[in-house]
Structure 1
Amino acid sequence: MIAKPTQKYIIFALILVAVLFPLISQNNYFIHILTLSYIWMIAVYGLNIVAGYTGYLSFSHAGFFAIGAYAQGLLTVKAGIAFWIAFALALIITTSLGFLVGLISLRTKEHFFAIYTLCVGYVIYLLIDKWDSLTEGVRGLMGIPNPGNIGPLSFTSATAKYYLILAFLLLTILVNYRIVNSLIGRTFIAIRNSEQLALSLGISTTRNKLLAFVLSAFFAGLAGALYAGFIRFLGPEIGSITITFDLLIYLIVGGIGTLSGPIVGTLLIVLLSQNLQFLEEYRMLIFGPILVLLILFSPRGLVGFISDWKLKIREGKSVSTERPAKIEKGA
């Protein structure tokens, strides 16, 4: 993992730029793209907990994102529940389903776990796509309300939504930071490094893996509920496996198992995608080789690459300072 001071500097610098951005740029299009990026970052942080820190790759992540989004949409549009009450219920629904899926899926290991979660994600997508009477199917769910007012604060403008979702992102980063630097986080990492060794140390791997999976589902549901309130239209494609692969690419490029990786990877890929819109049909021909090269030469992503580079520099300096002392001693 990248050194803690470096991670803090990266995260702090990105947060400072994010807070000041609407004050610098009045372009609503860029504000929209960045707001959407923050939603994806929240989802990627959830994926990072289960894949980056426990080593279990879940392909049902987009499914839980869609559950959070559709729970928010259906509760507000069809049940007529106020936005923030529906928001809390959407998180409870997503987390509860994550708990039930995790109870079964975590009985499997390695590629069997990945295959099972892939099937779960596809079942969720099919339910959304085919259950027309509830989800409106391919027609999509429209008319989702804006986030409700909190006291004097209104969230109807693009800038207000930007800061609201940024606040949730900052809270997500803080929670992830506390988890990773706690006993629970070290337990997750122990399971990732060697599950058998963790068992021999008396760690309940099943309980901790389930906790990681539930936390992952919670953040996916949080991102989905925010997405519903931001876009205000939902279609079945948000639960497709393509979304999971996109989130996984963001995580791998930024740095899997790092705190700043979800921010770096999501920002980089989203901004590149926006600048390569004229190559929409062929963009994977560009991203594909880049991703392969990154996995081969820097499996810990860009953040891991920076960490390794700084470590080599420090080691080089320490070696250069030790050599004169050895020569003097020999003389």
Structure 2
Amino acid sequence: MTTKTKASGAIRTDLIISLLLLVAAVALPFFIDSRYVLGQVVLALFYAIIASQWNLLFGFAGIFSLAQMAIYAFGGYVTAMICFYFGWNIWVALVPGALAAVIFSLIIGLACLRSTGVYVALLTLAITQTMYLLIVTDTECFTMVGSICRQFTGGAVGFARFGDLGTRALLKGQWLVGNYAIVATLFALTMIFTYAVVKSPIGLAFRALKDNPAYAVARGVNRFQAQLLVFGISAFFTGLAGGLYAAHFQAIGPGVLSMSQLMFIIAIVVVGGVGTFWGPLVGTVVLVGADELMREAGEFRTLGLGIIIALSIILMPKGLVGRLTDLARWLKRHSAAPEQAALKGKPAHAGE
């Protein structure tokens, strides 16, 4: 089988999976009566968006950044602050919030990407923790809202009641379905754009820098520029998701910068499959689902998630998607073996 045939087969498989997911996404609200469950699905979509962009950074480009939640929070905070201080409609503020996240990510990239490996991880983690500390220790009075003094960043309580997506006024009791449709649309657009990037020539450059940096540089790929580019690309959708998160919950606080949130995103990608396109989605379904099933387990909830992650790393180093891909290849190879054996044993035609 030629490389071109394999590539077309992979694209066809991805297209079929995409269509099935589209049908499932449209049908989902009709089968879920619980507002709580639908709310958890919306939250899971936010996790999947962040995870897909971290997977683009690390899984495809090899950049072990720990600033993903900082970029997510930055987009959310800028969106909330624009609405809170200037009274903008939240739909108008989403794009400036996402662009601010891109600028913030490029500044991080300029500071960190001349280093490699663990140094990038440590520097980006330091930036995330610094951002968290700056917010929670902000106690200076910036403006008075009635009789309440508000800090510039919202301080430890964050921002609330700065606007919503308009679905409450438009759809009344079905507003959560409207928010689900909006977040699901963002997830779909994120995945489509990510797929286009991964399959493009620049995506090949990203993978080359991850697999063999010296060879990629020798072939003319500018490592710093390419990594800065992927940093900016992933930041746009991450920041946009942060703004949409703030709009959906009508609040945002420093809790989004917690280490547990960051570790959960990384675990999603590891369980689903690092460097696989569908890995973040599969990992989100598994871990969010497991987390919900163990909701009543109390202190054993975290232990249960830890066991799932550990077993995944030990038994499935490539993640669930990687293991399923290997299984599909094995089945295809063994199903084709009898046909090949029959062809080899078939006598030649007399005229040949």
In the alignment, which residue of structure 2 is the partner of 1:104? 111
Q: Which residue among 271, 281, 285 is the counterpart of 1:267?
A: 285
In the alignment, which residue of structure 2 is the partner of 1:83? 90
Query: Cα deviations across residues 191-234 of structure 1 (Å, max 9, x unaligned)?
Result: 11111110111111111111111122222211111100011122
In the alignment, which residue of structure 2 is the partner of 1:322? 340
Q: Which residue among 246, 258, 266 is the counterpart of 2:264?
A: 246
In the alignment, which residue of structure 2 is the partner of 1:54? 61
Q: Which residue among 219, 227, 230 is the counterpart of 1:201?
A: 219
1:144 aligned partner, one-letter code: F
In the alignment, which residue of structure 2 is the partner of 1:129? 136
| C-alpha displacement of 1:164 | 1.0
Query: Cα deviations across residues 151-207 of structure 1 (Å, max 9, x unaligned)?
Result: x96698111111111111111111111111111111111111111110111111111
Say which is worse superposed, 171-180 or 2-11, in terms of deviation: 2-11
Gaps of 5+ in 2: 1-6, 140-150, 348-352
In the alignment, which residue of structure 1 is the partner of 2:209? 191
In the alignment, which residue of structure 1 is the partner of 2:47? 40
**Could you tell me how far apart the structure 2 residues matched to 1:270 and 1:280 are?**
16
Instruction: Check conservation: 2:98, 2:238, Cα contact below 8 A.
Output: no
Change (3 A) 1:200 1:167: same
The answer to whether the aligner puts 1:72 opposite 2:75 as a matched pair is no
1:161 aligned partner, one-letter code: N
> Superposed, which structure 2 residues align to 1:154-233 within 5 Å?
157-233=175-251
- RMSD between superposed Cα atoms in Å: 2.2
The answer to whether the aligner puts 1:117 opposite 2:124 as a matched pair is yes
**Could you tell me how far apart the structure 2 residues matched to 1:143 and 1:77 are?**
8
Higher RCO (C-alpha under 8 Å, 6+ residues apart):
1
Gaps of 5+ in 1: none
* % identity of equivalent residues: 28
Instruction: Check conservation: 2:89, 2:163, Cα contact below 8 A.
Output: no
Which one has a bigger Cα radius of gyration? 2
TM-score (norm 2): 0.87
| C-alpha displacement of 1:102 | 0.5
Change (3 A) 1:215 1:280: farther
| C-alpha displacement of 1:293 | 2.3
**Could you tell me how far apart the structure 2 residues matched to 1:292 and 1:327 are?**
48
Instruction: Check conservation: 1:45, 1:219, Cα contact below 8 A.
Output: no
2:213 aligned partner, one-letter code: E
**Could you tell me how far apart the structure 2 residues matched to 1:200 and 1:279 are?**
54
In the alignment, which residue of structure 1 is the partner of 2:253? 235
Query: Cα deviations across residues 235-293 of structure 1 (Å, max 9, x unaligned)?
Result: 21101222111111111111221221111111221122112111242223222222122
SS class of match (2:238)? helix
The answer to whether the aligner puts 1:10 opposite 2:17 as a matched pair is yes
Change (3 A) 1:77 1:38: same
TM-score (norm 1): 0.92
1:299 aligned partner, one-letter code: P
SS class of match (1:78)? helix
Change (3 A) 1:241 1:164: same
| C-alpha displacement of 1:324 | 4.0
Q: Which residue among 306, 319, 326 is the counterpart of 1:308?
A: 326
Say which is worse superposed, 50-59 or 8-17, in terms of deviation: 8-17
Instruction: Check conservation: 1:37, 1:267, Cα contact below 8 A.
Output: yes
